[in-house]
Amino acid sequence: MQWQTELPLIAILRGITPEEAADHVGAIIAAGFDAVEIPLNSPDWQQSIPEMVKLYGDKALIGAGTVLQPEQVDQLADMGCKLIVTPNINTRVIQRAVEYGMTVCPGCATATEAFAALEAGAQALKVFPSSAFGPDYIKALKAVLPAEVPVFAVGGVTPENLAQWLNAGCIGAGLGSDLYRAGQPLSRTQEKAHAFVNAYREAVK
C-alpha cells in the first residue's frame, strides 16, 4: 500500500465555512499540502466540499472527515470527493468508499480495530487520539501491522512534536486544531501550514 500524495500530512479544517474555504485551502496547498479534509460537522459542508473539489481537485486529494454512514459516502462520491476519513471503524463505510475508488483512512485505537479496517479494504489507518496513546503505543501497534500500511498520527500533533510520531513509525499525521481553528485569520493558517511543512521536511532529511 502506498499513500497517494507526496506530502503525508492531512489538513483537517474542522468548522470551516464555505465563505472561508477557498482562501484557507488555497493557502494550505500553496504551503505544500496535497491532502485536505473537511469534516462533516463543519457548517454547510455540502457546499464547501464540492467547491473545493472543483477549485483544487487537480492539485490535492480533497476529502471529508467524520464520515459515519455509508449514505454519506454516496453523497460525497457524487461530489467528486476522493478521500474519506473516519473517527471510528465502520466496515460498511470503508467498503462503500473502496467501491467508489476512494482513499479511506479510518480512525482506530487497537490492533483489533486496525485489522478490521484493513480487512474491509482501508488503504491507510489513523491512530486517534494519538496524544492519549503516545509514540511508544504506536510503535508497538506498528510491530504487528503489515509493514506497508501507512499509519497517521491524529490528535495532539504539533510542528514541535511531529518528528516523534514519524520516528514511531507513522508515515505522517492528520493536523487539526494545531493547524486550523474555526474562524482564525488566513495569516495564521498560512503560518501554521508552513511550520508543519518545514517540520516534516526537517524530520525526514
> What's the pLDDT at 200?
98
Residue 126 a catalytic site member: yes
Joined grid coordinates for residue 49: 466540499
> What's the pLDDT at 197?
98
Catalytic residue among 82, 126, 142, 192: 126
Low-confidence spans in the chain with pLDDT less than 70: none
Helix (H, G, I), strand (E, B) or coil at 175: strand
> What's the pLDDT at 2?
82
Query: 18-31 and 45-56 helices cross at what angle (nearest 10)?
Result: 40
Residue 37 a catalytic site member: yes
Q: Is the pTM of this model over 0.85?
A: yes
Catalytic residue among 20, 37, 142, 192: 37
Kindly give, in sequence order, each residue whose CB lies less than 8 Å from that of residue 199, ignoring residues fewer than 6 positions away: 159, 160, 162, 163
* Domains defined for the chain, CATH in brackets: 32-204 (3.20.20.70)
Span 44-54, pLDDT tens digits: 999 999 999 99
